Amino acid sequence: SQKIEQNSEALNIQEGKTATLTCNYTNYSPAYLQWYRQDPGRGPVFLLLIRENEKEKKKERLKVTFDTTLKQSLFHITASQPADSATYLCAPDSSASKIIFGSGTRLSIRP
Amino acid sequence: GAVVSQHPSWVICKSGTSVKIECRSLDFQATTMFWYRQFPKQSLMLMATSNEGSKATYEQGVEKDKFLINHASLTLSTLTVTSAHPEDSSFYICSASNPQESTDTQYFGPGTRLTVL
């Protein structure tokens, strides 16, 4: 069955450092992969989408990579700020007409 | 943009009553909407896919008679939690994708916090 794993349940880093979150998937080959941010008590918000033929995509301080050989996506936040603290969810494109999310990584940026 | 709203944002009800939650796409038409449930500190769990003009598709383990879904128009889906019990207390979120976009990017509502006493 299709499976999505995000590296760690929680990640705690110092402000100003780069945060790197990992998303691994098994048993399918998504055409694209999406990353979302969720703040407590709120619905997720779409951040970035990367397609299978793209190695890397950037948006301001965010960068996503997509390695279809490793079946992995990395999500980077450079020059991290306390306001970046949130839960980040990855969602590989599914073969069905629905999106399945990873369990999420709760990122905390300490001042 | 693509904006999805939910109503109410929170609701408290007595055990045994039914609660209706509305999900609306404000600036696009959505033939498909999704309903999720999220317990504290857990990830989103897809409950069902709401299809305009046809029956909803429920995920394994979700009771369709307990969670009634109606998608009567291209901009409105409703989730009714029937005979709610304390274990149904959760955060319910809906989402929809804009059919004018080529991907399945989901636009989420703000969520509805249900507390059953």
pLDDT tens over chain B, length 117 residues:
689 999 999 999 999 999 999 999 999 999 899 999 999 888 899 999 998 888 999 999 999 999 999 998 999 999 999 999 999 999 999 999 888 887 778 899 999 999 999
The CA angle A40-A41-A43, to the nearest 5 degrees, is 95
Q: pLDDT per residue over A57-111, tens digit each?
A: 999 999 999 999 999 999 999 999 999 999 999 998 876 667 788 889 999 999 9
Q: What is the mean pLDDT of chain B?
A: 93
Q: Which residues of B touch A105 (CB under 8 A)?
A: none
Query: Do residue A43 and residue B110 have CB atoms under 8 angstroms apart?
Result: yes
Q: Which residues of B touch A32 (CB under 8 A)?
A: 103
- pLDDT grade for A2, boundaries at 50, 70 and 90: confident
Q: What is the mean pLDDT of chain A?
A: 91
Report the percentage of chain A scoring pLDDT > 70. Answer: 97
Mean pLDDT of A41-64: 94
Residue B14 is inside which H or E element, if any? Answer: none
Task: Please give, rounded to a whole number of angstroms, the shortest distance from the CA of A105 to a CA of chain B.
Answer: 9
Query: Do residue A43 and residue B109 have CB atoms under 8 angstroms apart?
Result: yes
- Residue A26, Cβ neighbours under 10 Å: how many? 10
DSSP B35: E
- Name the β-bridge partners of B10: B113
Q: Which residues of B touch A99 (CB under 8 A)?
A: 34, 46, 95, 104, 106
| Selected residue of A5, A48, A93, A98 to mutate for chain B interface (largest B Cβ count, 10 A) | A98
Residue from the list B43, B103, B107 with its beta carbon closest to the beta carbon of A101: B43
Helix (H, G, I), strand (E, B) or coil at A52: coil
Residue from the list B46, B93, B107 with its beta carbon closest to the beta carbon of A100: B46
pLDDT of residue A96: 64
pLDDT of residue A95: 62
pLDDT of residue A3: 84
In order of A35, B75, B116, the CA distances from A92 in angstroms are 9, 26, 34
pLDDT of residue B103: 77
Report the percentage of chain B scoring pLDDT > 90. Answer: 77
Helix (H, G, I), strand (E, B) or coil at A84: helix
